[in-house]
Structure 1
Amino acid sequence: MKKLLSLLVILLALSVSADNLFAQSTGKIAGKIIDQKTNETLIGATVVVQGTTKGAAANVEGRYVLGGLAPGKYTVEVKYVGYQAKSISDVIVKADAVTNLDVTLTESASNALGEVVIKATYRQESVASLYSRQKNSVQVTDGISADIIRRSPDRNTGDVLKRVSGTSVQDGKFVVIRGLAERYNVNLLNGSLLPSSEPDRKAFSFDIIPASLIDNIVVYKTATPDLPGDFAGGAINTITRDIPDTKFMEGTVSFGYNSKSTFKDNFVDPQPNGKYDFLGFDDGSRKLPSAYTNVKSNYTSGTSSLQKIEIAKQFPNTFGSQLQNTLPNLGLQFATGNSKTLKNENRLGYNFAFNYNTGYRISDGDRTQYNISAREQLPPYSFDRNVFSNVKTLGGLLTLGYTYGKNKLAMRTLFNNDFKIDYEETKNGLIRGDNDATPTLYRGFSSESTQNGVFNTLLEGQHTLGENKLNIDWAASYGLSYRNQPDQRIVTVFTPENAPEYISFSSENSPLPNTLGRVYSKLNENIYQAKVNATYSFKWLDELQRLKIGGLGYRRDRDFTIDALGYVDIVGNGKSIPLTNGVTVDNIFSPESIGQNNIAFSRLDLSSTDYTGTANQGAGYAMLDNKLTEKLRLVWGARIEYYNQQLDARGKAVRKYVNTDLLPSANLTYSLSDKSNLRASFSKTLNRPEFRELADFRYFDYQTNFNITGNPNLKRAVITNADLRFEYFPTGGEIISVSAFYKKFKDPIEQINLDNDILSYANAESAKDFGAEVELRKKLNFISDANFFRDITFYLNASYINAKVKFADREVSTPLQGQSPYLINSGLYYSPESSSFTFNVLYNRIGERLRFRGVTGSIDIYEKPRDVIDFQISKRILNKRAELKLTLSDLLAQTNALYYNYGDQSKTAYNPSEDRIIQNRYYGFSSTLSFKYNFK
């Protein structure tokens, strides 16, 4: 940690020094040169400023930079062999600023140079280049740019993704695309596979990547041979910030308010805290004592009762808590970057960003369990639960890049650590007995800390050989994902009427860690990856064609450990200790009390199985990008993947799974006009089981109160995909699109309920997923030509989804887990070019979705829809060098509710006359005020 802080201090010092070193009063023009029809970059295109000696050539990315320009208005001319030259006027350059100018060129009718010079204004060309990028993508994609992210109230990538068409986010971090849960998506960071951040599912927790570090997010909804084949919903590529065109340095400080916690003295803070908790790192004080780890492998059968009592004394008595008054949430961000043009137009640059956040959150609610077979009877149990969360986030991004000639080398490194301390307080607990027996009353608490993190470093290169006919790109990366949950402490206190409270200790043979115990778990996953792609351009049918071939190899190593320890009466058959005569929860687990009362730990072996897993994949592909006519484009080919997976769980036989699959795909685009496309696609993809889903041992999930067991007989699912989309681009930045999709699954993997709160996994017989998506992004200038309406953009995307899965033991098909029948995202953006004042309002709603599947013939648990409205207003001040921004999040603060779907199982929408709410959570309303200052 000290080394990390030292590095941050050094980078900050270098940035401040660089600010003085590169101070300037001139401006720059920078951008990218692209082919108007294909969207391909035109490497080597020349860009000159008329009336000056300033000129540059586009590099391997098609980018150029014209620096050292005095403030004023210029005309820029762009030329490239075989293309019509273009002259762009009214390009305004400001001091200490970069004017972005992307230029599209069109092939000339003949090979004669200089026959025609196309003229355009700066505004016209900006619109044309944006329109070209939208229209000429290879496959069906949706995404969000850095500009949209900056203008939204979203703080992390999970929040950003819920704005994408056909996409929703579950639990604030897991992405559901086109009704398909996180297991059917593949997650990429700068094009490289991300490891899973969860111990028991194929998922990545997107809430741990701050939105401020993201340049853009692209969701590929159809497959191409150069993408991984293990997805059906979407491939999510999160792209971090690249090298800037000019020096910048900015800092942001933000203060957050929550209606349930800020300035209130009701926050329960577990004690004691670690000395590094304020930074978001565990200091080791919560780790398992060496007295236990030294005998762990032989603890249950090879350790005497007296030894177990002595070992229990070594566990710290950390069951205290205190009330505290919470201050506003605090956020700090710093970002800087620069680039310098060297000899021969070579360019060197860097981008560094750092973020730190600390905050408090309180949610309260209730849980009621109804009798499944007779919902009108009294519920078997109920309780109220408050959750007090203290969250710390620390992260950073460093990008280094160097372009020389027709080559580029870059290194991208991202680190983010998310640390959360949760104190869950259960009150008014009630367990009803049979035959109207006196109910059991109880209260309790659970205290846990969770440290999630991701580290990813990528070295990549791009090279153009010959006369721009052969392009080679490659990348090598290392990724680490970790999740550490040390010392979750669980206590249940029984509270009978007219009698003292007591704590019940079971016998050694029946430990209950989920009601009285401590749980320790740790997950580390490493992923090593290397890939190379080669693209060859050639002419056929008088059109430009491209052949792309490549290969990928990666290895995943996963290590998961868990110890579930229950407090027990080690010498008897169980006993109860009343909380009287000075005995309290705070001191009953002290070394003195443990010795006096013969208390020790019993290890629940069924829930304490460690495992390691490895997965190796080799893949190769061939893809042709064919322009069959001026209007018709076909991108087609096939990918072959070899996959070798191995699972080694303690006390179990080693299991191996080996498959080789051929995955064809085709994407057809017909250009109906200069502003519209018709797209069709077909592909075959896969969904493989995760390590935990194959592990046939039981694990208690203390987040959901379910036991989870794997199924070693799972098979991979095979999916056939088909898509159809019409898209129309009225002008740059605007779109109207209508999409339809169909997916057919063979052997889909679904979570099932084995009864008695035990979840497992199984291959269903089949599943079908079909639906439609509509997206509209349009300025409101059709209402009036007044400035106000020209500067307002209306945005809407809506999806209808019908995804049904068929199990052999169910007569009726049920929704896929996590699927919503509809999604709605909408918003209004006001952002005038010349003004320093902006605002936007956003709306999000998802339909009811299946959270947990009931046992055969039983009742499924659904999540009730809720409406979310966010609002943001910003104002530039201090000569536009600073910005004030006010964000109001979840204005309606509606309840997050789960319900039993009684009645007709084919009708999943909540019906208050039949269905029963079993859980409510209230999170409150929150707001953030931020101040950003540009030091440059």
Structure 2
Amino acid sequence: MKNFKHVIILLVLGLSQLAFAQNGTIRGTIIEDSNGEPMYGVTVILLSTGNGAISDFDGKFSVNAPAGTYQLQASFIGFQKVVINDVVITADEVTVIDQIRLKEDTEELEEVVVTAQAIRTSEVALLTQRRKSANVMDGISSESFRRIGDSDAGAAAKRITGVSVEGGKYVYVRGLGDRYTKTTLNGMDIPGLDPDRNSIQIDVFPTNMIDNMLIVKSFTPELPADFTGGLVNIETKDFPDQKIFDISLSIEYNPSMHFNSDYITYDGSGTDFLGFDNGERDLPSGYDLADIPTPFNSTDAQVSEFLNEFSPSLGVNQQTSPMNYNFGVTYADQKELANGHTLGYMFTGNYKNNTTLYDNAIYGEYQNDIDPDINEFQRAATTQGVLAENNVLLGGLAGLAYKTSSSKFRLTLMRLQNGVSRAGDFDLVDDENAVGKSGYTGISENLEYNERQITNLFLNGEHHLADGKWTIDWRGASTWSSQDDPDIRRTAFTRINDNLRFAAGAAGNPSRLWRSLEEVNTVGKVDITNDRKIFNRDGKIKFGVSHVYKERDYNIVDFNVNFFNGQQLDWTGNASEVWTPETLYPNGSIFLVSGFSEPNPNQYNSNINNTGAYISTEFSATEKLKSIIGVRAENFVQRHTGRDQLQTQVLDNDVVLDNLHFFPSVNFIYALQERQNLRLSYSKTIARPSFKELSFAQILDPVSNRIFDGGLFAIDDWDGNLRETLIDNFDLRWELFMNRGQNVSFSAFYKSFQDPIELVLLPQAQTNIELQPRNVGDGQVYGIEAEFKKSLDFINDRFSLYGNFTLVKSAIELSETELRNRRNNARTGEEIKDTRNMAGQAPWIVNAGLAYDDYERGIDAGLFYNVKGKTLVVVGGGINPDVFAQPFHSLNFNFNKVFGEQEEWALNFSISNILGDKLEQFYERSFSNFSSEQESAQVFQSFNPGTSVGLGIKYSF
């Protein structure tokens, strides 16, 4: 009998294990329909089994049950019950119902019955977030990334209302330049990687790492105050509701760029294909000596040893260019622990290798003719030829999340590695008829490598106390970033009497340059929210503190070739013949001299401490009127260590910017109807100079031969006192949200700028183009936006049309200096206006798309169009004309198809730049009674990206 009992027990345990093994799981999210917020405490049950769960503070629920088809019911006191039919649970798998939206049961309506197939991932969640947000907000979700097919955040961002993307990587919101746009990662500051820009290049973020991307266009106190056009927040993926194991591969072919034998490159390092240099381009030992080894201070052996530590490659090599390709993998899941808690984890990696070839890249320098009767621009110099680039991006993100009944913790580590190898083969023309030009022709071979790295560690805790009445959200993040330009090589020959020579007064001697930038960014913030009754209605009080510390080290080291006892006269024009054992000292005449003094004027260190605190309240004075009122304070201190070129001004951790500002914000939202809002807001924000702008650095672009001068330089009537810009912002918006993600909105905005900063051409510089950031006259920007997304039901409900349009007018008051310089160089009969456009401000932006979505057949496709109007990018004045970026008409097609028994395969087909438009910037004369048609616009720079065709495949295990 005893043995029989043991058999029975073992049999029962075995059957129970078998039954458990055949169980599946259903997960989902409960959303309150009126405001889009997750609902806590909702009862969810499978009607035929009684199995059920209670939703947590994120609105999430999870129910286990045997495999089968069920009815699922969600209920909460005061809300209509929702019953979902045909919920299929599969053994050992997770079924996800993305959103169950509960409506208030004000009229004791019957329960809502839908099918599981009708509830699926859509843009509805994002639209609801926009509708309930205190800010004027737009955005794009991970679903749109999949549908549109964009591989990185830069390509995806241009689909958003009022957004344009410069160079495929810099986001401009409402046409304002990158100075007025801020990028955050998971709500935290992240440093940029380009010393020439204020915002980060968002093309380094693959879309498979991103959950959503929101652009906030109006300020509220919990946000940092240093944005005006918009704040772009990239939210990385959290753990999913179901297991994900995806592998994807894509290729892209551009007929004008790929499999082209005219492609040029050079001998780099063995790890260039991984996005970093293995040390092949490192500076040699002894580079930082006060006197590097030369024939005048060292032995022949010492000079020879020093020279031979440099890479001998100075010339380009021709080879056939490869196609673009991209590989990605994502693995993520969550586990329910025994104590009812949840542990989630995720890993995603991406490798992208893109090759670009411009067979007719042009850089031009033009001047106003010294004869005022001549309207045509005078050519000063042109650089024209082949420019080729190989761009490698290697990225990875790993995350852990742990959730209890009242708290959630999240830890994310992200690493992005980007390497760009660039080679140029150019013809040079320097026109002696232009002011400050010696007059010569020549050829040049340029070799560059740019290496960028970002490592971001993010830790976040969210706690819900007192039945959800109090929420504490704390976040900490450290980001380490670097950008290196190791061994930029420029070898330019001058034609003299039918011979090719190196001439210091003409095309110059060969040069080698190293640039390095390292930045650390540490951020901590705490936000506390108290849900309470205000005026007997639901309201909130929010307050918090934050601190940001940034430090940047920047250095430039350069060397120029000199010749001991002259140079040979029979150069063939092949740069590869220059750095050889026969030409280097002591066998030949070549040795190096340092291009900098000690201490180095182009080396600087800067740091920032920015402490912020805020308080705001959100309340409804009436049933339909919501108000969000608050103020933020920021105490900002920037210090600088550096010196000018003449060593006459030396700063040692000296304060260069110190202020305490208060930033008020008032937002009103009036609900005209349940899904129709009218918004009105006012706020004050700030735009501060970047590290590089508030420095003595003088930086040469070796390709374009243009020079950047830091804003601390006192030049002519500029006193070197570069100040921050204060901005007053006003926004008015009407918005209507309809079923199935349809929406329409109209907005108007006005911004007033005090002491705006712009990059201006220096009229004193005549042998080279020199640019400097300066405060110019006060300015104004005002504009309108319109957006819509509409289902084409009258044709087919699978088609939808969307579009957004932004029209902007800007006006900057000319300073006395700029007005005088423009008038002194005016053409005969030309009347110079005393205002002009704001630099970087696009006058209009258009985004449009036609989409097709057949969910049942797993097909979605779309045709997408993006363009912005002619935009002032470099402020001229004096002898130098203004430079305008021309409209680039970007038309792209994308097709996605899901197939397989479990829809495990996904196919993507795309065509980019269908119209074959060019990326061009022209010198033009536009701020007078002369129109652009009265003279021939001349090229500042021009590239032809061609048309690309892409094919991608993804498999889900």
Whole-angstrom distance in 1 between the partners of 2:314 and 2:269: 14
The aligned counterpart of 1:9 is none
Q: Give the counterpart of 2:525 among 531, 536, 539.
A: 531
Equivalent in 42, 45, 49 of residue 45 of structure 1: 42
- For the residue of structure 1 that corresponds to 2:277, the secondary structure is coil
Closer, same or farther: CA 514–239 of 1 in aligned 2, 3 Å? farther
Contact residue 538 and residue 545 of structure 1 kept, 8 A: yes
Q: CA deviation at 1:35?
A: 3.1
Distance (Å, rounded) in 1 between the aligned partners of 2:377 and 2:924: 16
Aligned to 1:733: 741
Instruction: Classify 1:486/1:137 alpha carbon distance in 2 versus 1 (closer, same or farther; 3 Å).
Output: same
Which segments of 5 or more consecutive residues in structure 2 lack a partner in the other structure? 1-17, 713-720, 820-832
Q: Find out whether 1:173 has 2:205 as its counterpart.
A: no
CA distance in structure 1 between the partners assigned to 2:804 and 2:750 by the alignment: 19
- 1-side partners of 2:378 and 2:668: how far apart? 59
Match of 2:542 in 1: 548
Q: Match for 1:836 among 858, 865, 872?
A: 858
Are residue 586 (structure 1) and residue 576 (structure 2) matched? yes
**Distance change in 2, residues 1:514/1:649 (3 Å):** farther
Match of 1:253, SS?
strand
Distance 1:542 1:357, change over 3 A: same
The one-letter amino acid paired with 2:918 is T
Q: Is the 8 A contact 2:363 2:704 kept in 1?
A: no
Residue 432 of structure 1 pairs with residue 444 of structure 2: no
After the TM superposition, which residues 414-493 of structure 1 pair with which residues of structure 2 at under 5 Å, given as runs? 414-427=414-427, 429-434=428-433, 440-493=440-493
SS of the counterpart of 1:343?
A: coil
Alignment of 1:496-895 (within 5 A): 496=496, 499-504=498-503, 506=504, 516-569=510-563, 571=564, 575-580=566-571, 585-595=575-585, 596-605=587-596, 609-649=602-642, 652-654=650-652, 655-656=654-655, 657-702=657-702, 704-712=704-712, 713-755=721-763, 756=765, 757-781=769-793, 783-784=794-795, 789-809=796-816, 810=819, 811-856=833-878, 858-879=880-901, 880-895=903-918
Measure, in 2, the Cα distance between the counterparts of 1:289 and 1:145: 48
1:62 aligns with 2:85: no
Distance 1:130 1:439, change over 3 A: closer
1:479-503: CA deviation from partner (whole Å, max 9, x where unpaired): 1221111001100122457x33233
Query: Does the alignment pair 1:365 with 2:354?
Result: no
**Structure 1 residues 303, 682: closer, same or farther in 2, change over 3 A?**
farther
Select which of 81, 84, 88 maps to 1:89.
Answer: 84
* CA distance in 1 between partners of 2:634 and 2:377 (Å): 54
* TM-score normalised to structure 2 length: 0.88
User: Secondary structure at 2:734's aligned position in 1?
Assistant: strand
SS at match of 2:307: helix
User: What residue is the counterpart of 1:4 in the other structure?
Assistant: none
1:923, distance to aligned residue in structure 2 (A): 1.6
How far apart are 1:925 and its partner, in Å? 1.3
CA distance in 2, matches of 1:222, 1:602: 53
Change (3 A) 1:292 1:92: same
> Shift of the alpha carbon at 1:64?
2.0
The CA distance in 1 between the partners of 2:32 and 2:24, in whole Å, is: 27
Alignment check: 8 A CA contact 1:514 1:702 kept = no
CA distance 1:873–1:163, change in 2 (3 Å) = same
Superposition deviation, residue 371 in structure 1: 3.8
Aligned residue pairs total 890
Q: Which sits farther off after the overlay, 435-444 or 691-700?
A: 435-444
Deviations 1:581-615 (A, max 9, x none): x8953232224412144322233338861111110
Moved more, 555-564 or 95-104: 95-104
Asked whether the equivalents of residues 208 and 418 of structure 1 are also in contact (C-alpha less than 8 Å), the reply is yes
Residue identity over aligned pairs, in percent, reads 26
Matches within 5 A, 1:203-352: 203-271=199-267, 273-293=268-288, 295=289, 311-352=306-347
Name the CA distance, whole Å, in 1 between partners of 2:732 and 2:219: 13
* In 2: Cα distance, 1:685 partner to 1:367 partner: 36
- In structure 1, the partner of 2:180 is 184
- Whether the 8 Å contact between 1:291 and 1:314 is mirrored in structure 2 is no
- Following TM superposition, by how much is the alpha carbon of 1:622 offset from its aligned partner in structure 2, in angstroms? 0.5
Distance 2:723 2:909 in 1: 50
Measure the CA separation in 2 of the matches of 1:911 and 1:67.
Answer: 72
Cα distance in 1, alignment partners of residues 561 and 781 from structure 2: 47
C-alpha distance in structure 2 between counterparts of 1:57 and 1:301, whole Å = 82
In 2: Cα distance, 1:625 partner to 1:138 partner: 9
Are 1:925 and 2:925 counterparts? no
Q: Is the 8 A contact 2:445 2:575 kept in 1?
A: no
CA distance in 2, matches of 1:163, 1:520: 37
Q: Could you tell me whether the CA contact under 8 Å between 1:195 and 1:479 is conserved in 2?
A: yes
C-alpha separation in 2, matches of 1:851 and 1:903: 13
Cα deviation 1:796-819 (Å, max 9, x = unaligned): 011001122223122522222211
Write the mapping of 1:19-38 to structure 2, written as runs, cut at 5 A: 28-38=25-35
Corresponding residue SS for 1:866: coil
Q: In the alignment, which residue of structure 2 is the partner of 1:384?
A: 384
Give 1:932 deviation, angstroms: 0.6
Confirm or deny that 1:74 pairs with 2:44: no
Task: Give the direction of change, closer, same or farther, for the CA distance of 1:620–1:514 in structure 2 (3 Å limit).
Answer: farther
| Structure-2 change in CA distance of 1:212 and 1:28 (3 Å) | same
When normalised by structure 1's length, the TM-score is 0.90
Distance change in 2, residues 1:861/1:48 (3 Å): same
Q: CA deviation at 1:439?
A: 5.8
Q: Which moved more, 1:922-931 or 1:117-126?
A: 117-126
Matched letter for residue 387 of structure 2: V
After superposition, the Cα gap between the structure-2 partners of 1:300 and 1:794, relative to the gap in structure 1 and judged at 3 Å, is: farther
Rounded Cα–Cα distance in structure 1 between residues aligned with 2:741 and 2:434: 67
Alpha-carbon contact 1:842-1:870 (below 8 Å) kept:
yes
Q: Secondary structure, in 3 states, of the residue corresponding to 2:379? A: coil
Distance of 1:235 and 1:821 partners within structure 2: 20
Tell me how far apart the structure 1 counterparts of residues 623 and 299 of structure 2 sit (CA, whole Å).
82
* Cα distance, 1:670–1:274 mapped onto 2, change above 3 Å: same
Q: Tell me if the contact between 2:65 and 2:89 (Cα under 8 Å) persists in the aligned partners.
A: no
> Is the CA contact (8 Å cut-off) linking 2:96 and 2:241 kept in structure 1?
no
Q: What is the RMSD computed on CA atoms of the aligned residues?
A: 2.9
> Is the contact between residue 27 and residue 93 of structure 1 (CA under 8 Å) also seen in structure 2?
no
Shift of 1:774: 0.5
SS of 1:53's partner is coil
Aligned to 2:455, the other structure's residue is in SS state strand
Structure 2 match to 1:17? none
Q: Distance in 1 between matches of 2:605 and 2:668?
A: 43
Contact 1:333–1:353 (CA under 8 A) maintained in structure 2? yes
> In the superposition, relative to structure 1, how do residues 270 and 850 fare at CA in structure 2: closer, same or farther (>3 Å)?
same
Shift, 1:330, TM fit: 2.0
Q: Secondary structure at the match of 1:229?
A: coil
Structure 1 residue 187, shift from structure 2 partner: 1.1
* Aligned mates of 1:583, 1:361 — CA distance in 2: 25
The 3-state SS of whatever aligns with 1:38 is: coil
Distance 1:342 1:868, change over 3 A: same
